Amino acid sequence: SEVNNTDTGVFIGASSTDYDRLLEQSALESAAHYSTGASAALLANRISYFFDWHGPSLTLDTACSSSLVAVHQAIKALRAGECQRAVVGGVNLILHPASSIAYGEAGMLAPDGCCKTFDARANGYVRSEGAVVLLLAPLSVAIANNNRIHALLTGSATNHGGMAAGVTVPNPEQQARLLQAAWRDAGIQPRALSYIETHCTGTALGDPIEIQGIKQAFADDGISSEKLCGLGAVKTQLGHLEAAAGIVGLLKTVLCL
C-alpha cells in the first residue's frame, strides 16, 4: 500500500480501564499477551506497527479532553514536520459497571438517561461509547495528493484550569483564555465566528461555567454582548463519549460544514 512505510503519525485519545477490570475478574491465569493486550500505549503503537508507520505514535489520556488533545498534538507534529500525515482518533468502550456506578454516586449522571444540554432541567450526563478516527495532513500535501478535503483546521490550543472549585470543575477564566489562544493561533477574528461546538454535557454545574467562559472570551476581546454565535452540543444526540467526546464534536462540525 502507498501508505505503508511512511512517516505517518498516530495520536489516540483514550482513558477507559474497563478491559483491565474484566481481566482481573476473569478466572484465567495470567499469560504473556495480557500485558500487550491491555496496554494503553499499544492502542496507538499497534496501529503504527501494523501499517509500518514511523511518525510519532501516542496514546493520550487527559480524561474527557483526550481526543481533542490528540488533535492538538497531531497538528503540532505536522507543523513541525515530524510526520507527513496523522491518524487521529478517540475511543470509549463501556465494558464494566464500576465507573458508571461511581459517576452515578457522585451525582454526575442523568437519572432519566436523557442529556438535556442548554436546558433548565439539565441534571447530568449520559455515558455512551464509540470511536472516531480522522486523517490529517498539511493542506499542500492534501492538494498534491488529490485528497478530498472535508475541512481545514487552522488552529488549536490547550491549557489547564488550574485550581478551580474542584479537580473536575471547569475554570471559566482559563476556558476564555483557551478560546482566545485558539482563534489567535488560527488567525481568526472572533467577531467572524458564527458557530461553536461546545463540550456541554448536560450538567447543572459544568454547562453554565462553559457558557460563561465563552461569553468572557468574546468580551475580553472587545466583542459586544450583542454578538450572535450559534452553540451546539452533539451529546444531546449521541451522549458523552468521554475520552472520544471531543473528536466526535469535531466530526459533527465537519459534517455540518
How many other β-carbons are positioned within 10 Å of the β-carbon of residue 101? 11
199 is catalytic: yes
Q: How far apart are CA 140 and CA 137, in angstroms?
A: 8
Of 81, 91, 129, which is closest to residue 11 (Cα–Cα)? Answer: 91
Residues 6+ apart with CB under 8 A from 142: 149
Q: Where does residue 100 rank: exposed (0-12), middle (13-18), buried (19+ CB within 10 A)?
A: middle
How many other β-carbons are positioned within 10 Å of the β-carbon of residue 103? 15
Radius of gyration of the chain (CA): 19
Of 72, 115, 200, 240, the catalytic one is 240
Q: Taking the chain, what is the end-to-end CA distance rounded to the nearest angstrom?
A: 31
Of 64, 83, 115, 200, the catalytic one is 64
Pairing of strands 8-13, 57-60: parallel
240 is catalytic: yes
Of 72, 115, 199, 200, the catalytic one is 199
Q: Where does residue 34 rank: exposed (0-12), middle (13-18), buried (19+ CB within 10 A)?
A: middle
How far is it between the farthest Cα atoms of the chain? 64
* 87 alpha-carbon distance from chain centroid: 14
CB-based contacts of 174-177 (< 8 A; 24+ apart in sequence): 174/213, 175/209, 175/210, 175/213, 175/214, 175/216, 175/217, 176/213, 176/214, 176/216, 176/217, 176/220, 177/217
Q: Name the residues annotated as catalytic.
A: 64, 199, 240
